[in-house]
Amino acid sequence: MEFFKIQRDIPFMRHALVFNLVSLVTFIAAVFFLFSRGLHLSVEFTGGTLMEVSYSQPADLGTIRNSVAALGFNDVQVQNFGTAKDVLIRLPVQKGATSAQQSEQVLTALKAVEPSVSLRRTEFVGPQVGDELAADGLKALACVIVGIMLYLAMRFEWKFAVAAIIANMHDVVIILGFFAFFQWEFSLPVLAAVLAVLGYSVNESVVIFDRIRENFRRFRKMNTTEIINSAITSTISRTIITHGCTQLMVLSMLLFGGATLHYFALALTIGILFGIYSSVFVAAAIAMWLGIQREDLIKGTVKKEIDPNDPNSGATV
């Protein structure tokens, strides 16, 4: 399915060096902010108090957030739990206050607005649990990276695997850099979004790589740069359809999903935009600079063109 078909190939690789220099500067800036400011971790990673409250009617999450924020709690997570009447509240650790004191203070504030609210349970999440979650998240990220590299190396060629993983890590680090610079809350849903971006970005790279391999078989007289330009140009319509539809869905979550989905959708939005950019200008360019060529992708016998003056023409190599 295509919305349009471009007749002439766009010379993307002509400007590959400039775009990759921009990517390098952005990547270095993201790493700098990650080390200088660090991530603003949520309660799941730092520890805190977990409260579950129940209402006699569907709860107004905005009113609950305002009531809790008025007590001086920052970065409070409020979301429905199970039904619209049940609410889960995550409170960060406060110096000089126990978990029981925090929950009692919050419950009093909530009862002042809605007397029917009742406390179902309260738990304290220790920092050790947060450290375990952070370690498990890093392990998951490492497993995804290794899996992607093995998959691409087996399906295509190791040069494509290296190019794709550099492009994917470029996307992940830039997402984290945004969260570090603006000090947006980094929670488990955001970590899930980062892992989703890895898969989403590599899917776009695979589509382009597959078309590059196909073009190497179809166009014998094109050089590598022309092959890559043709592959990217021929997949533009598909890219616009796929990423446009996905971005509409993610933007709807960002605009109408509320505070619970806000940072999750924000991470996906940044990841999708940079995923398209990196697949075209980073992954393809790095593969070109690594010296990808027809012989790397086409295995088996290849017939030479027949030359009537050459007795050896038509032989296979």
Q: Where are the alpha helices (DSSP H) in 257-305?
A: 258-277, 284-289, 294-297
Mean pLDDT of the chain: 84
pLDDT higher at 260 or 180: 180
What architecture does CATH give domain 12-39+129-297? Up-down Bundle (1.20)
3 state SS of 58 = coil
Angle (CA) 20 238 257, round 5°: 85
DSSP for 203-252 reads: HHHHHHHHHHHHHHHH-TT--HHHHHHHHHHHTHHHHHHHHHHHHHHHHH
pLDDT higher at 121 or 303: 121
Q: How confident is the model at residue 40 (pLDDT cuts 50, 70, 90)?
A: confident
**The pLDDT of residue 4:** 64
User: Residue 9: pLDDT above 90?
Assistant: no
Task: Round to whole Å and give the CA distance between 209 and 212.
Answer: 5
- Averaged over 67-83, what is the pLDDT? 84
pLDDT > 70: what percent of the chain?
A: 91
CB of 92 closer than 8 Å to CB of 46: yes
**The pLDDT of residue 312:** 46
CB of 284 closer than 8 Å to CB of 201: no
Provide the whole-model pTM: 0.79
- Give 91's strand partners: 49
Q: Hey, where are the domains in the chain?
A: 12-39+129-297, 48-125
Task: Round to whole Å and give the CA distance between 166 and 186.
Answer: 23
Which pLDDT tens digit goes with each residue over 261-316?
899 999 999 998 898 888 888 999 999 999 888 877 766 444 444 445 544 444 44
- Averaged over 227-233, what is the pLDDT? 91
Dihedral angle sign, alpha carbons of residues 227, 229, 233, 239: positive
Work out the burial of residue 256: count CB atoms within 10 Å of its CB; fewer than 13 is exposed, 13-18 middle, 19 or more buried. Answer: exposed
Which pLDDT tens digit goes with each residue over 143-168?
877 887 788 778 778 888 888 888 88
Which pLDDT tens digit goes with each residue over 78-113?
888 878 889 988 888 777 777 888 888 999 999 999
Closest CA to 185 of 313, 286, 38: 38
User: Residue 243: pLDDT above 80?
Assistant: yes
User: Residue 123: pLDDT above 60?
Assistant: yes
The domain made up of 48-125 is a member of CATH 1.10.3720.10: no
3 state SS of 142 = helix
